[in-house]
Structure 1
Amino acid sequence: MNHPASTPSGPSTNRGLDLAKLHRLAATYGVGTSFTGWSGKPQEVAADTLVKVLDALGVSASTNDLLDSSLADAELSPWRRMLPPAVVIAEGKEALVPVHVPHGAAVKLWIVAEDSQEYPVQQRDPGMEPRDVDGVPTRRVLFALPRNLPLGWHTLHADSDGAVAQTALIVVPDRLATTGMLEQCRGWGLAAQLYSVRSQRSWGIGDFGDLADLAALSAERGADYVLVNPLHAAEPAPPLQPSPYSPSTRRFFNPLYLRIEAIEELAYLQPKERERVEKLAAKAQRLNHSADLLDRDRVYELKLEALELLHQAKRSPAREQAYQAFLRESGAGLEDFALWCALREDLAADDPVWHDPAAAPDTAFAQGKRRKLAKRIGFHSWLQWLCDEQLESAQRAAKLAGMRLGVVHDLAVGADLSSADAWMLRGVLAPGMSVGAPPDMYNQLGQDWSQPPWHPQRLAEAGYVPFRNMLRTVLRHAGGIRVDHILGLFRLWWVPEGNLPIDGAYVTYDHEALIGILALEAQRAGAVVIGEDLGTFEPWVRDYLADRGILGTSILWFENDGGAPLPPEKYRAQCLASVNTHDLPPTAGYLAGEHVALRDGLGLLQQSAAEELAAHEKSVQSVLDVARERGLLPEGTDATEEQQIEALHLLLAQTPAMLLGVSLVDTTGDRRVQNQPGTTGEQYPNWRLPLADPAGRPVLLEDLEGSARFNSLVAAVENALRANEAGSGPGAPASKG
């Protein structure tokens, strides 16, 4: 993920603070006071940074008097609530809920399940000795929740002598059940940047129709899934942010990917309007054969004009009913997003209105705009309905073609600071903070991704509904979800506004709640979960994810054992294993060391290009040597590039990994990296490269079916997995059929 430049933080204004108390307060709210630097040595977080992060959490700490007051408030805060902000428990497990009531008051608890069934809750103990809470003697009583509660979103109620309270009670799977199908039979699939995958029918950008065709094409060859880049919505009109990892919202989808010809109303346009759409299509389809950078803005301009015409066509009664049902199901979230789109068409991203509390979605200002912009709000809501229809069609095509999973969506870490999510969800986001990463060997000043983080306490107080709603939309027509930087559900690096990325701090989250909800929504959708768990993390995290049935991510070049390549047999089973990622060059480019020259030209190397290249070639050779030792490559140095790429994938087929990933760019011999971390759009054309062959010539979907290179690689992977299943290698015992 790329990060913009930041201005350095000013001198600390918090000298004289009692650091012991500041650190104790920070620990109480899950703010790390130190972190392990890229050198492996612990580094202290500056007091000024801790004060800013605590302030974003609603905790005052800028003076010693405020520290004392905040520490006292932190101790009393749970006692001031009858019930916790939210309760998340694993199915079938014992769970105790603390309840706080005035001393001597009776209290009754019961649960109303999402199916309206009621469950009584029994008191476990008579309660602790009372303590004074704002002048009221208060006791804590523990209640034991029933173990037979069904999975789902329930409500816990309490009544204490007429004083009532309620909170969200979410029962989640102890372990995600959908992983079971992969334990019985391993699988493989393609990973593709959908925008780059064009066909004769595309409008210059890969679309949902191309996704369906790519799924069908690869399913015929044994693939179980197609993993695509995040398809989250960007801006409502050009210019569009190229990075799919910097969306305007993570809940809704990008209409840029709509296949215009798949919209039913096209058949009912008047001849003049129909002719206009055909002319727009002809203009856009000429871009399919260009090797130039993808022009999202031009494509979306053409598509928007066509969509405006189609929106005017009268829908049939059945179509109208389906649209209205979608609106009801999507609820206020879609209404707010469509309002943001309508406003954003006229207001710049940096307009002060986005940060004005008087202009929030629930204000009189917004209500007035809803009436005034009703037509545009309807248009943007309609676009989301079309996206939903076409994603459903793509997933149906994938499953009909024989895929066990189908489409696997990618979930970005967050949305931009100037995004729809930042405006719509401000109540559950931390103000004045941006997500990033601490310094590492590649980015020694750290990274700032310009995305606001969830506010842990406010998200819990909202019953985790915003998190749930986002997951439900992404999983609605999916067989799986890849969670980018899943470690962010455990802790995130917060960078205060005005600070350099290095001047941040880790803030922890209730991972039991967040991972549990992720598992619940995935299980209900029948989807698997793949966590991108690369980078810096605590050793127990991977074990925890595996215990919850969530797959990790293993990249061939990063798997080492004491400085040597990790033997395939030592890979973890519960992971998606692949040769590369979208932040590395395709394997052809990586083998050639082209990224070293690129990074050298961009000034990103920490040592000389010659030293970097020598280290890289040594690392590559050590992996190729493993392939030779296992008979996957001929002895000597006469193996072709294609042979080397196939051998590396066959090496992964010898691992116990439940899923293997084949990058589509590796099947065409493309050599260029889609995203060069640490660069801006002016330095490198991130996320704008069309699918190409080794010479940079465009490759269309129609070219893949007869491509010897494509068919050879995917056949090699499919045959290797099935051979392992038959007993000639370390594979799963069962067969797909």
Structure 2
Amino acid sequence: VYGLASTETGQAGDLGTLRQLFDAVERRGGRYVATLPILAQFLDEPCMFSPYSPASRLYWNEMYLDLGPLAAEVGLPSPTAPPIVPGTLIDHKAQYHWRRHVLDPIAERLAAQPAISAQVDEWAHRTNAYDYAAFRAVGEQRRTGWSEWGAPWRDGTPIIDTRQQAIGLGADGARLTTHVVAQWAMQRQLETIGGGAVGLYLDLPVGVNCEAYEVWRHRNLFLTELAAGAPPDALFLGGQNWGLPPLSPVALRRDRYRYFIRCVQHHMKVARMLRIDHVMGLFRLYCVPAGRPATDGVYIRYPYEELLAILTLESHRSKCALVGEDLGTVPEAVRPAMARHGLYRLHVGQWFLPSKIGNRPEPSPAESVASLNTHDTATFAGWWRGADIDDRRDLDLINADQEASERVDRDHQRAALLAFCGTPSDDEALTDVERAMVSATADLARGPAEVVLVALDDLALEPFPINVPGTTSQRPNWQRRVDRWSEALDADRASPAAAATIASVSTARTPH
């Protein structure tokens, strides 16, 4: 969502621009819009803007509120966003500060209206939102994560059920109001977006930040001396440490899975399809002890049949399809169990392109969600020019000989894919990379996958990736806007490549 910026939203997008994308997808006959996680984040002090390290899996990111309708509801003028400077990255902290400057008085006025105040209060009691809002208010007052707070807040207070209780314990009333009202408004706006003809496809991250609300409130459920990650492999010889405290399988079961159920239900109230990030984590999770390198991790095993049963039950109750992100090192038991419980697999088309002239891309499985790439891979334009190889060499993940070998392989793949495209017509104005992108996407759409996703970055031929796994400050992860996103699905303004891609997908996916 952050990539869908407009002149009204500032540096990053919001639910208003997301709604515009939904409208465009509906006009072109699409069924789903997929997003990265839109969960709560720490965007002030500390500022941690990876959507896969959320401040909670139970509450939304208030930065994405569509502020215009809320301002109109309380008689305030529409907010005027700072202009976007072309070519710059998103400064999440500055964007959040501007949006809070607008949101705070809106929340105050909404809370002052008796009818709305009663709605918010009733909703907050049902969702424990006062407890969460108090946690966020205290964090903003102290400008540190909870692990650095003094007693009694650091050590946990009784669950906070009311505004008066939170203020009595020292939470700032204005901040408390903003967070409670923002969560109520986010839920309302998301339910409206997700209730239309096009379904919302959300992403449930594998865990939360070590300073997250849940770790503070439900410390007994987490193994705080460990961090989830990934073992060493061909791409990351040193392994990966994601900094996410894993759930204790013993405590999770002793709690009768109530926390896990709440996380799932929170998403399924608004989503029509839910992607389970790193679905292998329902089976086993690679964890690194504090102070140890990522090569020294161990696997923790989870009661996957019970977790999958919960997912299946909640899926049925909410009429929300399930997708398991089954990429990377996948134990043998995972995919058969996914099939038994009705979870779709993922298929990444760029991994199955031909490398020999005369061959065609490998087809996706029928029970899958297919796309050319993911947020953790190169975009198609980046793949075409070998930007992912550049990255691995620059990060010392491959040596010079491996780099040379990969570039030869990529040359073969480009040649094979262009041969698969066929001879261009005399009046075709597309470049080679555009022809290849259109052809590869159309082939996915003609295949048996249940759902085919088309990335806005590919329609814009964006060369840079959303995220380079295993990097932090080395790469501007999660900070790029989507170039010309509003034009990509517009029949009159789309580029020739984007128009050809959407037309081919629409033709392939329309029942005849």
Same fold (TM over 0.5): yes
**Are 2:356 and 2:416, in contact at CA under 8 Å, matched by a contact in 1?**
no
Answer yes or no: is 1:223 the counterpart of 2:15.
Answer: no
Distance 1:484 1:355 in 2: 35
**Are 2:379 and 2:462, in contact at CA under 8 Å, matched by a contact in 1?**
yes
Answer yes or no: is 1:613 the counterpart of 2:403.
Answer: no
1:422 and 1:691, CA in 2 relative to 1: closer, same or farther beyond 3 A?
same
Partner of 2:482: 691
Partner of 2:13: 206
Partner of 1:197: 4
Q: Secondary structure at the match of 2:294?
A: coil
Give 1:701's match in structure 2, choosing from 477, 486, 490. 486
One-letter amino acid of the structure 1 residue matched with residue 479 of structure 2:
R
**Are 2:360 and 2:417, in contact at CA under 8 Å, matched by a contact in 1?**
no
One-letter amino acid of the structure 2 residue matched with residue 299 of structure 1:
Q
Partner of 1:394: 193
Give 2:138's match in structure 1, choosing from 338, 343, 346. 343
Range moving further from structure 2, 313-322 or 491-500: 313-322
Counting only pairs closer than 5 Å after superposition, residues 28-43 of structure 1 correspond to structure 2 as none
**Are 1:530 and 1:551, in contact at CA under 8 Å, matched by a contact in 2?**
yes
Answer yes or no: is 1:676 the counterpart of 2:455.
Answer: no
**Are 1:199 and 1:206, in contact at CA under 8 Å, matched by a contact in 2?**
yes
Distance 1:504 1:687 in 2: 27
Relative to its length, the structure with more strand (as a share) is 1
Partner of 2:107: 311
One-letter amino acid of the structure 2 residue matched with residue 379 of structure 1:
T
Partner of 1:660: 452
**Are 1:239 and 1:297, in contact at CA under 8 Å, matched by a contact in 2?**
no
1:555-608 CA-to-partner distances (Å, cap 9, x unmatched) read: 012248999999667531100011111112221121111222233333333444
**Are 1:407 and 1:479, in contact at CA under 8 Å, matched by a contact in 2?**
yes
Partner of 2:299: 506
One-letter amino acid of the structure 2 residue matched with residue 308 of structure 1:
D
Give 2:230's match in structure 1, choosing from 425, 437, 441. 437
Partner of 1:14: none
1:292 and 1:569, CA in 2 relative to 1: closer, same or farther beyond 3 A?
closer
**Are 1:417 and 1:452, in contact at CA under 8 Å, matched by a contact in 2?**
yes
Answer yes or no: is 1:543 the counterpart of 2:336.
Answer: yes
Answer yes or no: is 1:715 the counterpart of 2:490.
Answer: no
1:329 and 1:306, CA in 2 relative to 1: closer, same or farther beyond 3 A?
same
**Are 1:569 and 1:654, in contact at CA under 8 Å, matched by a contact in 2?**
no
Give, in angstroms, the shift of residue 357 of structure 1.
9.4
Counting only pairs closer than 5 Å after superposition, residues 9-158 of structure 1 correspond to structure 2 as none
Partner of 1:169: none
1:494-513 CA-to-partner distances (Å, cap 9, x unmatched) read: 11111111111111111111
One-letter amino acid of the structure 2 residue matched with residue 345 of structure 1:
E
One-letter amino acid of the structure 2 residue matched with residue 701 of structure 1:
S
**Are 1:490 and 1:511, in contact at CA under 8 Å, matched by a contact in 2?**
yes
Give, in angstroms, the shift of residue 521 of structure 1.
1.6
Structure 1: 5+ residue stretches without partners? 1-193, 693-698, 727-737
1:593 and 1:204, CA in 2 relative to 1: closer, same or farther beyond 3 A?
same
Answer yes or no: is 1:457 the counterpart of 2:250.
Answer: yes
Give 2:53's match in structure 1, choosing from 229, 234, 246. 246
Distance 2:148 2:407 in 1: 48
Q: Secondary structure at the match of 2:478?
A: coil
**Are 2:226 and 2:288, in contact at CA under 8 Å, matched by a contact in 1?**
yes
**Are 1:483 and 1:529, in contact at CA under 8 Å, matched by a contact in 2?**
yes
Partner of 2:171: 373
TM-score (structure 1 length as normaliser): 0.63
Distance 2:498 2:118 in 1: 43
Partner of 1:86: none
Give 1:645's match in structure 2, choosing from 403, 421, 437. 437
**Are 1:552 and 1:575, in contact at CA under 8 Å, matched by a contact in 2?**
yes
1:646-672 CA-to-partner distances (Å, cap 9, x unmatched) read: 100112123211111101111112111
Q: Secondary structure at the match of 1:387?
A: helix
Q: Which has the higher contact order (CA 8 A, sep 6+)?
A: 1
Distance 1:646 1:416 in 2: 38
Partner of 2:280: 487
TM-score (structure 2 length as normaliser): 0.90
Distance 1:408 1:203 in 2: 24
1:503-532 CA-to-partner distances (Å, cap 9, x unmatched) read: 111111111111111122222221111111
**Are 2:43 and 2:92, in contact at CA under 8 Å, matched by a contact in 1?**
no
Partner of 2:97: 301
1:703 and 1:663, CA in 2 relative to 1: closer, same or farther beyond 3 A?
closer
1:716 and 1:521, CA in 2 relative to 1: closer, same or farther beyond 3 A?
same
Partner of 2:122: 325
One-letter amino acid of the structure 2 residue matched with residue 714 of structure 1:
I
Distance 1:355 1:522 in 2: 41
Counting only pairs closer than 5 Å after superposition, residues 413-428 of structure 1 correspond to structure 2 as 413-428=206-221
Distance 2:60 2:288 in 1: 28
Distance 1:561 1:512 in 2: 37
Give, in angstroms, the shift of residue 237 of structure 1.
3.1
Give, in angstroms, the shift of residue 258 of structure 1.
1.0
Give 1:591's match in structure 2, choosing from 350, 362, 384. 384
- Give the length in aligned residue pairs: 499
One-letter amino acid of the structure 1 residue matched with residue 190 of structure 2:
L
Distance 2:74 2:392 in 1: 52
One-letter amino acid of the structure 1 residue matched with residue 130 of structure 2:
E
Q: Secondary structure at the match of 2:109?
A: coil
**Are 1:256 and 1:303, in contact at CA under 8 Å, matched by a contact in 2?**
yes
1:24-66 CA-to-partner distances (Å, cap 9, x unmatched) read: xxxxxxxxxxxxxxxxxxxxxxxxxxxxxxxxxxxxxxxxxxx
Distance 1:409 1:632 in 2: 39
Q: In angstroms, what is the RMSD of aligned CA positions?
A: 2.9
1:330 and 1:236, CA in 2 relative to 1: closer, same or farther beyond 3 A?
farther
Give, in angstroms, the shift of residue 634 of structure 1.
7.5
Answer yes or no: is 1:261 the counterpart of 2:68.
Answer: yes
Q: Secondary structure at the match of 1:507?
A: strand
Distance 2:152 2:355 in 1: 54
Distance 1:633 1:645 in 2: 14
Give, in angstroms, the shift of residue 361 of structure 1.
3.6
Structure 2: 5+ residue stretches without partners? none
Give, in angstroms, the shift of residue 371 of structure 1.
3.2
One-letter amino acid of the structure 2 residue matched with residue 441 of structure 1:
A
**Are 2:379 and 2:457, in contact at CA under 8 Å, matched by a contact in 1?**
yes
One-letter amino acid of the structure 1 residue matched with residue 486 of structure 2:
L
1:355 and 1:244, CA in 2 relative to 1: closer, same or farther beyond 3 A?
farther
**Are 1:207 and 1:257, in contact at CA under 8 Å, matched by a contact in 2?**
yes
Distance 1:321 1:241 in 2: 33
Higher-Rg member (1/2): 1
Give, in angstroms, the shift of residue 703 of structure 1.
6.7
Q: Secondary structure at the match of 1:246?
A: coil
